[in-house]
Structure 1
Amino acid sequence: MTLLSIVTWNSADSIEDCLQSVLAQTHAGFTVWVVDNASTDDTCARVAALAATDTRIQLHPLPENTGFCGGHNYVLDRTESDAVLLVNPDVVLPPDYLARALAVLHSDERIGTVCGVLLQSTDVDPVVDSAGMVALPGGRFALRHHGRPLSSVRFAAKVEDVPGADGALPLYRRRFIDDLRVEGAFFDARFFAHKEDWDISWRSQLYGWRTVLATQCHALHPRHFRPSDLRLRLRLNGAMKADAVKNQLLLLLKNPTPQQLPGLWLRALPRQVAILLFALLLEPRSLRAYSYLWRNWRAAWNARRQIQTRAARGWQPAAFTVQPTLPAAIIQQLHTVAASA
């Protein structure tokens, strides 16, 4: 069974198109959880109306906004499906998307994440929103091929290894989800929203998992928010701007290995100083990001210790487990057989 997880917040203008495309998937055997983050519009009413016509949809309204991270953690902590597709409420899928992505996921047990090519429109030659993510100097990242016409992009193969997957539509393996949990949670709730996908991708690299782009999987995603777009940033509310600053600092604190930490921070420092000066002069509400880190640095450092301890073990294939009530000699024989298989 496959699970599709959708987190909504005032998503009435897009959720029906999203769900209709989800329900039209050719792959059989999936359920859809819609977690609503205390929307003030009629998102829940629209989802409930569709759920009344299709039992595959479950609506879970929350009393407060827990963000992208909290909403998806709610789903992941209460389900056990072998694979989970996270779907942004403004995404529209073609009918074969899930079937194609699952085929790629099941092709190699080391693949933890599958992403597709997200397009910003249904034009004849649409602009690419993302085709995975790439790492930039100083612990930053970028969307691969963002803003390029699809016709100008040449993919090397049907399946390409990429450094990361955009959080708008990643397909995750359950064992990958459980392996990446830190302090019991898959997504770090401190991120709330934005850059949590790069946090997952970075951790995935540290643990030895593969993230792949299925180049034949296309979906519609008209992106509305990018913190690096200064013109758009000026129109955003203060909380979103502060999250963008805070989350980059969390990334730099938690994920670099001990060997990488000095050099990466040295490369990141000029930009971080510029961001601090920008906040002091033009965006004072973003200064709350620094006060947050000051108050919570111990918790973040504890998360770092857990991540780096697990990262030191590298890739670990699926564990072979037996009932502990078996005699020790039989258990040892089974482990020997598994190791030689």
Structure 2
Amino acid sequence: MAVGIINYGDYRHLPDCLDSIKRQTMRADRVIVLDNHSRADEIGPIGNAYPEVQILAMQDNLGYSGGANRIVREADGYDHVMLLNPDVVLGPRHLEELVGVMVSAPGVGSVGGKLLLGDSQTDSGPSGDAPRILDSTGHLIFRSRRVIDRGHGELDVGQYDKPEEVFSICGAAVLYRRSMLDDIQIDGEYFDEDFFAYKEDVDTCWRAQLLGWGSRYNPAAIAYHLRGWKRRDDRRRVPWLRKYHSFKNHSLMMIKNELPALLRRDCLPILWLGVRAMVYVALIEPALLKAVLDLKKYLPRARYKRGIIMKRCRASTEQMGRWFV
């Protein structure tokens, strides 16, 4: 099994993430850190402190999608590839619990555990006696096609302690089956590089569902995600670039993966969400109109990818329709 971390400037939390990998009850055969827009003065000391870790220092910023694709290619020959954000700290049995699901369920292509919110504003990281606040237990997708992290912000009182199928897994900490990644790739891309970052995890799992691969949630695999702005879910604190890519990628994801029958079934909630989004952009953040205008240059590639996905689709309308709640 290979573990890959996609880093962009987060040298503060990266050592804690690497330490948590070293503490695993199941040893990773290979650990790769892809450092986007790499700074030698920052990544050099980390490489010296962790000589067993392979450092891929990128002069450019490949984004999450490009970085993840590079890691998957580097990890050729491994049956399972774990992708992590640098601000994730794994519980000691995390890898063992996720791999156990893969071994027992050959139709599962991605597995995630229970992500708890850590406090990124403290040097010590998540506190053992702090209230356990959920970050993600997999993704929920609604008939409007709005996607949320299931349970985000809720106090963890055992309401998500049942292992179960989910629509998709949060890309901050997810284990992929290599054969699934190879099956769903398009022109050598496992993650759509037109997305750059944000919602590429949902897009990948949506495509996998269409091709017959499931996603599974295992609450026994615990991790802390030290994300910042989303802890309060305040859109005013969200970086503009994140909002830009999220807005753009939501449309690309639907263009590529929607089944016509489900689009007809859910056209009203989809349209209502679209109208609300455009009103928000027009009145509150007109700068986001750039995301709408930029869709034009991505449309030909999105339609091309849709053609490939639909030709290879193995899931029925009923199988896919159950996910849109």
Pair 1:241–1:179, CA change in 2 (3 A):
same
Instruction: Tell me, yes or no, if the aligned pair for 2:166 and 2:217 is still in contact at 8 Å.
Output: yes
The residue number in structure 1 matching 2:142 is: 136
The residue number in structure 1 matching 2:71 is: 75
User: Is 1:173 paired with 2:185?
Assistant: no
Shift of 1:313: 7.0
The residue matched to 1:137 in structure 2 has which SS? coil
Instruction: Tell me, yes or no, if the aligned pair for 1:12 and 1:41 is still in contact at 8 Å.
Output: no
Q: Aligned letter for 1:267? A: P
Pair 1:43–1:213, CA change in 2 (3 A):
farther
Distance in 2 separating the partners of 1:217 and 1:169:
10
Bigger drift between 294-303 and 262-271 goes to 262-271
Question: If the length of structure 1 is used for normalisation, what is the TM-score?
Answer: 0.84
Matches within 5 A, 1:1-341: 2-39=1-38, 42-52=41-51, 55=52, 57-80=53-76, 81-121=78-118, 122-124=127-129, 125-156=131-162, 159-226=163-230, 229=233, 231=234, 233-312=235-314
Higher relative CO (Cα under 8 Å, sequence separation at least 6) belongs to: 2
Task: Say what the alpha-carbon RMSD is for the aligned residues.
Answer: 2.1
Unaligned runs of 5+ in 1: 315-341
Shift of 1:210: 1.7
Distance in 2 separating the partners of 1:238 and 1:204:
29
Shift of 1:13: 1.4
Distance in 2 separating the partners of 1:228 and 1:275:
20
Shift of 1:15: 0.4
Q: Aligned letter for 2:148? A: A
Distance in 1 separating the partners of 2:115 and 2:100:
18
Distance in 1 separating the partners of 2:90 and 2:134:
15
Distance in 2 separating the partners of 1:255 and 1:177:
16
Q: Aligned letter for 2:8? A: W
Pair 1:171–1:153, CA change in 2 (3 A):
same
Shift of 1:163: 1.5
Distance in 2 separating the partners of 1:48 and 1:154:
37
Bigger drift between 193-202 and 264-273 goes to 264-273
Question: If the length of structure 2 is used for normalisation, what is the TM-score?
Answer: 0.88
Shift of 1:154: 4.8
Bigger drift between 278-287 and 15-24 goes to 278-287
Instruction: Tell me, yes or no, if the aligned pair for 2:36 and 2:63 is still in contact at 8 Å.
Output: yes
Unaligned runs of 5+ in 2: 119-126, 317-325
Shift of 1:265: 4.2
Pair 1:39–1:277, CA change in 2 (3 A):
farther
Q: Aligned letter for 1:73? A: N
Shift of 1:304: 0.8
- Spell out, residue by residue over 1:75-102, the C-alpha distance to the aligned partner (whole angstroms, 9 max, x if none): 1123221100111100111222112211
Instruction: Tell me, yes or no, if the aligned pair for 1:227 and 1:241 is still in contact at 8 Å.
Output: no
Q: Aligned letter for 2:237? A: R
The residue matched to 1:114 in structure 2 has which SS? strand
Rg larger for = 1
Distance in 2 separating the partners of 1:116 and 1:206:
22
Bigger drift between 100-109 and 165-174 goes to 100-109
